[in-house]
Amino acid sequence: MLYSMTGYGRAEQTIGDKNFLIEIKSLNGKQFDLRLNIPALLKPYEFDVRNLLNEGLQRGSVECNITIKLNGANKPVTINTDLAKAYFQPVSQLANELGLATGDILSTILKLPDVITPSTEMLSEAEWSHFENLLKEAIAQLNNHRKEEGKSIEADLLVRLKNIEEQQQLITELEPLRRTKIKEGLMKVLEENVGKENYDPNRLEQELIYYIEKIDISEEQVRLNNHCAYFRTVLNESGLSKGKKLSFILQEFGREINTTGSKAYDANMQKAVILMKDELEKAKEQILNVL
């Protein structure tokens, strides 16, 4: 089973007098890259939040937005006057540029993030425990989404693999014919330019054996078959993160296919190699989004 790096998770719950909303989005990325937006109440737990996201998601470009809304009318709050002043100048300047009334600037500024905050800047241990479970729920939702996306990717990769194996089988069938064509072609050139009676057939056979050994592709075929089998084995392994390993295997595919192409000296085999390269590139594009 494969997991995509693309996914979305959302979880919301009221804990005591606070309403928590968590939204997580994930896209493909080489490493774990997190953009985290959290309210002041959660700042003391930021390191824990980052660790939970890292452990749960492993790889990808992740954006996590967490908001907390207080329920009830009489909640102790503080106004961040320095932040309000910092907001005032750009907001009033924008209003003047747009020709808008400036009478409601204060009410607008008070609605901006972190201008008004609870006077108690800490969650209780019980609230943190509930929030931790809520965050794990959002991560689980995102991973379920990744799993569904991964099914489509795996199906497509198996198609690419099957197409490569079909072209590989065609090359295996063409190999004996290629040897005959090479031998006939060299004999024809010699007969046309030297004359049939002017060259030693035994020496020609020796040279042909040496030449054909140099362009032999049997080792490349064996290795490519082994890589295909190993690719399927990795697909069936347990665990979430397989993208890097599968990417390395596809690199080995490329080496064997390229070497086969450089030794082919046959139009039909070259055509098969080109088709294999095309399928390989499509597989590589898909692997970029595998966890």
Q: What was the pLDDT predicted at 139?
A: 93
Q: Which residues of the chain have pLDDT under 70?
A: 72-77, 101-103, 117-121, 179, 183-213
- In three-state form (DSSP H/G/I as H, E/B as E, the rest C), the secondary structure along the chain is CCCECCEEEEEEEEECCEEEEEEEEEECCCCEEEEEECCHHHHHHHHHHHHHHHHHHCCEEEEEEEEEEECCCCCCEEECHHHHHHHHHHHHHHHHHHCCCCCCHHHHHHCCCCCEEECCCCCCHHHHHHHHHHHHHHHHHHHHHHHHHHHHHHHHHHHHHHHHHHHHHHHHHHHHHHHHHHHHHHHHHHHHHCCHHHCCHHHHHHHHHHHHHHCCCHHHHHHHHHHHHHHHHHHCCCCCCCHHHHHHHHHHHHHHHHHHHHHHCCHHHHHHHHHHHHHHHHHHHHHCCEC
- Looking at residue 54, what is its pLDDT? 93
pLDDT tens string 225-252: 999 999 999 888 887 788 889 999 999 9
**Which pLDDT does position 252 carry in this prediction?**
92
Q: What is the reported pLDDT for 36? A: 92
Specify the pLDDT at position 121.
56
pTM passes above 0.75: no
